[in-house]
Amino acid sequence: MKKNLIKNLILVAILAISENAAFGQRTLIQKADELFNNLEYSKAITAYENILIKHPDLTSVKVKLAECYRLTSRTEKSEYWLSQVVKSHDATDAHKLLYAQALMSNGKHKEARSWVVDYQDKNPDDKRSAYILKSIDNLPSYFKDTGSYFVWKLIINSPNADFSPVLYDNGMVFVSSRETKEMFEKKHNWTGQPFLNLYYSKGKGNTFLEAQPFATDVQIRYNDGPVSFNSKGDEIFITRNNVVKRKEYVSQDKEVKLKLFIGKSVTGQWKNPMPFKYNSDEFNTGHAYLSIDEKYLFFSSDRPGGFGGMDLYVCKRKGNDWDEPVNLGPGINTAGNELFPYMHADSTFLFSSDGRDGIGGLDIFYAKWDGTKLSEAKNMGAPVNSSSDDFGVAFDKKTHYGYFSSNRETRSIDDDIYSFRRMLKVRGIVVEKGTDIPVEAATVKLKNSKKNELVLETKADGKFEFPVDYDETYFVEGFKDMWSRDSKGFNTLNYFPTEDFFVKLELEKQARKYHFIVNVRDEKTKKPLDKAEISIDQTDIVLGYTDKKGIWMQPLERDMKKVLMVTRSGYDPKVVTVSNIGQKEDSDFEILVELSKGNDVGPYARWYKIIYYDFDKSNIRPDAVKTMMEVLQFVKDNPDARLLMNSYCDSRGTTAYNMKLSERRARAATQWLINNGANANCVEKMDWGGKTMLMNRCAEGVDCSEDEHQLNRRTEIRVYRVEGKSTSDKK
């Protein structure tokens, strides 16, 4: 009896100890989870690790610990703990996908594939696995262009986090958790570092001065940033914690969410930013950026109804207000996170995502914005992207340097700011027209607006490559003896630096022995004009110059149609539309261009428009209204410009009748401008030449199509004089 009593007492004691241990374990987990839910990840890491020392088999704790390390960008430790999780008997498919993503972040793409394939087999509707497999398959393509980039780590970085640069006031504003000089500096429980603040550094390119606190009157004691500005720099969009007058506002799940605030600068001072109308205590809203035309505001949010994680949204400006946010859709957003929107000067839209095909972690993507919608997103590739987090991109349109944030060196919370510059190239190929067979030993010339020239000869593959620079206009020409010529133009103005230009030149074998000839004469004296420039219309692409006989020529092409501008110092420019389409007999194709001495019209020298008419008509056709509206806007924007109307007819009809018809056309175009609000004196001179200036072979009696005749029924509109400037030999 005594033995049984002692045995029972021992059993009760053991059960009590077990229950107390289980209760203590639950209490420790609850406390650690509370830290996790409050975003106090640095403290939660310590708490979870202490639990695992005593209870090493708790899978749920390992998952939470791995997530803490992921959220603080310590991906090696996240991978380690997830590798323990997937070995356990209670591992789920979701755990395996998390492990694959951790492997990707650490550059272990081949190891990640088997885990992703297994997940996809069991979860075929989840697009995330398809994106990861696409990333692995496309990995070589992400690194194919690394030789075109130079990347530098800026010296303004601190030992702590520095990220999200934005160009502002001849320098850079960025976010940093660097140490301050405050005696009792408050630390952020998420990272264990000081709260995020805004800093400014003056400079450009790779050279920036020591960073100073930015606009302290607009910052709070908690996290500030990232920020962006409007084009004038007097409107700020700032992301910060949901704190108002030092009071934290928490969601129902006990989290302090991010909110977006918008402020104005008045006489150099930032007014207290006001909360964005679509903020909420229940979800995050931030990372805002304005479109180039300032009509649309892009931002990131995990509001209900998205695709998962943080999605990108857009609001249209409505006076001083904003329309309802619209999700940017599956072409941009994924089940992962889409963050840090930015817009380049050419309206290329950039953002970061960890849910699309990429190298690992957050990658930077770009899409084209057409003013209302975005194209499908593309990965920007290495070396801007890496297997770590890459985000917060910005560009300086003056220097063409780009800037971005990355934790690639430390794989920790220590983000740094990098600069980069892409060296531009034009690549191309010379082929036989109609066959695409490469042409060997073809001469290829690259010219720019400064008349600089590079020349090479193609090898057996017909390929060529030239370096090009930003903010330039270029012209590429290919030719070979007994072959035709071909030329293409392009420019690098406001160019988004991620892809090379490609030009395909097509030469025709056994080129004609005949030539396209431009014969330039003085209108009054009929003497030849040398050094007259022949260029492609409304561009800086120069084809060549007339010789002492006033002649410029090139081998004649079949079915040629060109719009040329002929200019010479001291003379009015002339637009020439030429076409030999439909010409049946082989012969030289020559046009006579007579220039009249004219006025100095300065920057307007290359501006012109052409409208066309129906046969025997002078009314402004519907298709010409668009062009006339452009002319109307031009004279309103440039009230000092005085126009010249030159009108012509095709060859049909008598000379006297066509002179009257072309006069009616000049007067009709002039009256249209006045009727639609232009000043009565905007057109200073009207000329009409009947059928004296034909742009093609369609002289009287020649059998031509209606399209060919159409080129001659026209009014050419250009600037004749600039009010207030000196003039010479006015008619």
Grade residue 471 by pLDDT with cuts at 50, 70 and 90: very high
Mean pLDDT of 128-150: 87
Q: What is residue 279's predicted lDDT score, i.e. its pLDDT?
A: 94
Write down which residue in 480, 495, 510 finishes a domain: 510
Q: Tell me, rounded to whole angstroms, the distance of Cα 163 from its chain centroid.
A: 20
201 and 281 co-located in one domain: yes
Asked if 492 and 472 touch (Cβ cutoff 8 Å), the reply is yes
Quote the DSSP letter at residue 412: S
Question: Which element (helix H / strand E) includes 634?
Answer: helix 622-637
Measured in degrees and rounded to the nearest 5, phi and psi for residue 243 equal: -130, 125
In this structure, are 178 and 305 located in the same domain?
yes
Give the span between the Cα atoms of 536 and 434, in whole angstroms: 24
β-bridge mates for residue 443, sequence order? 457, 479
Domain-embedded: residue 9: no
CATH of the domain at 106: 1.25.40.10
The verdict on residue 8 lying in a domain is no
> Which residue type occupies 390?
D
Which pTM does this prediction carry?
0.65
Question: How far are the Cα atoms of 326, 357, 539, 627 from residue 605, in angstroms, in the given order?
Answer: 45, 49, 11, 18
Strand partners, 174: 199
- Say if residue 275's pLDDT is above 70: yes
- Compute the distance between CA of residue 536 and CA of residue 560 in angstroms, rounded to an integer: 13
Judged by DSSP in three states, 433 sits in: coil
Query: Could you tell me which residues come within 8 angstroms of residue 191 by beta carbon, excluding any fewer than 6 positions away?
Result: 41, 42, 72, 161, 177, 413
- Please indicate, yes or no, whether residues 178 and 232 belong to a single structural domain of this protein: yes
What pLDDT shows up at residue 567?
86
d(CA 258, CA 494): 34
Looking at the predicted structure, is the pLDDT value of residue 421 above 80? yes
Q: Is residue 207 part of a domain?
A: yes
Q: Mean pLDDT lowest for which of 163-167, 188-192, 552-556?
A: 188-192
Distance CA 621, CA 89 (A): 78
What CATH code is carried by the domain that includes residue 288? 2.115.10.20
Question: Residue 18 pLDDT > 50, yes or no?
Answer: no
Supply the mean pLDDT for the chain: 85
Over residues 249-274, the mean pLDDT reads 82
> Domain span at residue 437?
424-510
Token output for 411: 């794989």
Stretch among 54-58, 206-210, 323-327, 723-727 having the lowest mean pLDDT: 723-727
CA–CA separation, 119 and 121 (whole Å): 5
- Is pLDDT above 50 for 6? no
At what angle are helices 109-122 and 127-137 packed, to 10 degrees?
150
Say yes or no: 332 and 207 in one domain: yes
Q: Are residues 341 and 192 in the same domain?
A: yes
Least confident of 102-116, 396-410, 485-499: 102-116
400 Cβ neighbours under 8 A, 6+ residues apart: 421, 470, 471, 497
Question: Which pLDDT belongs to residue 185?
Answer: 46
- The pLDDT assigned to 70 comes to 77
Distances (CA, A) of 1 to 6, 154, 712: 9, 82, 125
* CA dist., res. 673 & res. 544, Å (int): 35
Nearest CA to 568 among 591, 550, 590, 586?
Answer: 550
Residue 18 domain-assigned? no
CATH code, 647? 3.30.1330.60
Spatial separation of the C-alpha atoms in residues 728 and 731, rounded to whole Å: 9
Supply the pLDDT for residue 729.
38
Tell me, yes or no, whether 291 and 417 share the same domain: yes
Length of the chain: 731
| Mean pLDDT in residue range 226-249 | 82
Q: Is 62 in a helix, a strand, or coil?
A: helix
Same domain, 353 and 413: yes
Residue 682: name the closest of 617, 623, 634, 615 by CA: 634
- Average pLDDT rounded to a whole number, residues 640-645: 91
Report the alpha-carbon distance of residue 365 to residue 602 in Å, rounded.
Answer: 42
Instruction: Assess whether pLDDT exceeds 90 at residue 210.
Output: yes
CB 37 within 8 A of CB 73: no
Is 573 in the same domain as 678? no
Decide if 5 is inside a domain: no
Residue 401's pLDDT is 96
> Are 416 and 440 within 8 A, CB to CB?
no
Residue 499's alpha-carbon distances to 129, 178, 204, in angstroms, are 27, 36, 24
Higher pLDDT: 217 or 496? It is 496
417 in Cβ contact with 408 (< 8 Å) = no
Contact 658, 613 (CB under 8 A): no
Kind and range of the H or E run holding 625: helix 622-637
- At 539, the amino acid letter reads T
pLDDT at 131: 81
Domain closes at, from 380, 397, 422: 422
How high is the pLDDT of residue 104? Answer: 82
Q: What pLDDT does 22 receive?
A: 55
Please state which of the ranges 128-142, 488-502, 659-673 shows the lowest mean pLDDT: 128-142
Strands 311-318 and 326-327: antiparallel
Q: Given a cut of 70, is residue 3 above it in pLDDT?
A: no
User: Which percentage of the chain shows pLDDT scores above 90?
Assistant: 43
Token couple for 512:
């004609």
Average pLDDT over residues 270-282: 89
Residue 164 lies in a domain: yes
> Cα(35)–Cα(51) distance, rounded to whole angstroms?
14
pLDDT tens profile 240-251: 876 665 666 677
User: Which pLDDT band holds residue 409 (cuts at 50, 70, 90)?
Assistant: confident
SS3 361: coil
**Which has the minimum average pLDDT: 18-22, 547-551, 590-594?**
18-22
Residue 432 maps to which CATH number? 2.60.40.1120
Q: CA 283, CA 299: separation in Å to the nearest integer?
A: 13
Q: Classify the phi-psi angles of 364: left when phi > 0, otherwise alpha if psi is within -120 to 50, otherwise beta.
A: beta
Alpha carbon of 168 to those of 80, 158, 214, 251, 409: distances in Å?
Answer: 41, 20, 11, 34, 27
Task: Tell me, yes or no, whether 90 and 223 share the same domain.
Answer: no
The tokens for 194 are 């000081």
Strands 424-432 and 501-507, by their bridges, are: parallel
Contacts with 53 (C-beta within 8 Å, 6 or more apart), sequence order = none
Cis link prior to 383 (omega < 30° from 0)? yes
The whole-number average pLDDT for the span 350-360 is 91
Q: How many domains does the chain have?
A: 5
Residue 731: is its pLDDT beyond 80?
no
Q: At what angle do helices 75-86 and 93-105 cross, to 10 degrees?
A: 150
Regarding beta strands 416-422 and 149-153, do their DSSP bridges make them parallel or antiparallel, or are they unpaired? Answer: antiparallel
- Which of 573, 597, 621 represents a domain boundary (last residue)? 597
**Structure confidence at residue 193 as a pLDDT band (50, 70, 90):** low
Lowest mean pLDDT among 240-254, 452-466, 527-541: 240-254
Q: How far apart, in whole angstroms, are the C-alpha atoms of residue 390 and residue 354? A: 10
**Cβ(254)–Cβ(231) below 8 Å:** no
pLDDT at 5: 43
The answer to the question of residue 547 being in a domain is: yes
In the chain, % of residues over pLDDT 70? 89
Kindly state whether residues 535 and 657 are assigned to the same domain.
no
Any domain includes 382: yes
274 CB burial (10 A radius; 0-12, 13-18, 19+): exposed
Q: Could you give phi then psi for residue 84, rounded to 5 degrees?
A: -70, -35
Q: At what angle do helices 59-71 and 2-37 cross, to 10 degrees?
A: 20
Same domain, 212 and 320: yes
Asked if 413 and 429 sit in the same domain, the reply is: no
Closest CA to 312 of 281, 294, 289: 289
